[in-house]
Amino acid sequence: MTLETSVERVSLPLEFPFTIARGTSTETANVIVRIEDEDGVVGIGGAAPSTHYGETAATVEAVLPDLLAVVEDAGDPHQLERIERRMREAVADNPAARCAVSIALHDLVCKRLDVPLYRYWGLDPDRTVTSSYTIGIDDTETMAEKTETALERGHDTLKVKLGTDRDVEIVETIRDVAPEARLYVDANEAWTPKEAVRKIERFAAYDLEFVEQPVPAENPEGLRYVSEHSPLPIAADESLLTAADVPRVADRCDVANLKLMKCGGLLEARRIVHAARAHGLQVMCGCMSESNASIAAACHLAPLLDYADLDGSLLLADDPYDGVPMPGGRIDLSAVTRAGTGVREA
């Protein structure tokens, strides 16, 4: 079968400047991949490259011709396992670029079979989770205002970015504004192990679900120290990229936070879920600053998750793509009537 492919870069302004421990962004660039079969059926996927993992829109565009050549050579989009393996052999790094192709292929295959992705996987759409809505770092008063706005928009699950000299004050303030919300925090590697334990001991009074990535990924012994001394569960994000990382972190965290853009594709994402479960970990799926061209696909993992942080599209000023309905963050797969990931141009 002849498959036609195309690539388009899109600029996506954020609704608010978004600050985490590593820096601030006001807009993001995603690279959209389209794969069309002989019947005119089009699969859509997106890459949301992260400089933290060495990728930019330019690096994605630089490797996509090699990846799309693998797809065109394969000729059969249903050969997902073989295509993803050959893409890994062709381009070892660049997971966001590979992921865009993986998502577009899954979307195409499901459209050809006329089923939503969760049905292709045999998953139960009623066993879903509510995505958190992320409150980025700002002055404490602004973070409180953003929390109020999130609550007004119907969000009851919030993730708070930390990594400041007033982290305890921030948690106390947000818990005050949102007494009923499910709350978790993410330090994005900002703390030393001892600082992390000191802060987490103070957080224990505020009913947090877990603390994400307290220390740098380069300090696995530090992560072990925090996990052994923390009164709250610990989630690993930057410390865990692919399924092969799961056994390396399993004895020093409680929650594995997978992201499509770290692991390089939907098959690898499901391998992470199964590896994490085999090690007794809870599973979360997070995201980068992403449009629904990729978020829509991640939403179909919801029945396999304990936690979702799939607010990438919600944090954009305007998303050129629609995806899976997420009222108040609740990932509503049973409302997906379109085949594929549910992505379409808005």
Tokens 């996987």 belong to residue: 121
Distance CA 129, CA 246 (A): 22
Site string for Mg ion, 89-128 (x = CB under 5 A): ----------------------------------------
Mapped onto helix, strand or coil, the DSSP state of residue 183 is strand
Tokens 């994005």 belong to residue: 188
Site string for Mg ion, 181-200 (x = CB under 5 A): -----x--------------
Residue closest to Mg ion (Cβ)? 237
Q: How far is the CB of 188 from Mg ion (least distance, A)?
A: 6
Distance CA 149, CA 56 (A): 31
Distance CA 149, CA 133 (A): 11
Q: Beta strand 344-345 with 23-36: parallel, antiparallel or unpaired?
A: unpaired
- Binding-residue total with Mg ion (CB under 5 A): 3
Q: How far is the CB of 186 from Mg ion (least distance, A)?
A: 4
Pick the stretch among 27-35, 74-82, 207-215, 323-331 that binds Mg ion (CB under 5 A): 207-215
Among 237, 268, 290, 319, binds Mg ion (CB under 5 A): 237
Distance CA 330, CA 86 (A): 35
290 binds Mg ion (CB under 5 A): no
Q: How far is the CB of 213 from Mg ion (least distance, A)?
A: 5
Nearer to Mg ion, 3 or 310 (CB): 310
Pick the stretch among 65-73, 180-188, 225-233, 244-252 that binds Mg ion (CB under 5 A): 180-188
Rounded to 5 degrees, what angle do the CA atoms 298, 131, 8 make?
A: 40
For residues 109 and 77, is the Cβ–Cβ distance under 8 A? yes
Nearer to Mg ion, 138 or 186 (CB): 186
For residues 110 and 287, is the Cβ–Cβ distance under 8 A? no
Half-sphere exposure of 82 (CA within 13 A, CB side): 10
Q: How far is the CB of 1 from Mg ion (least distance, A)?
A: 39
Q: How far is the CB of 248 from Mg ion (least distance, A)?
A: 17
> In the complex, which residues of this chain contact Mg ion (CB under 5 A)?
186, 212, 237
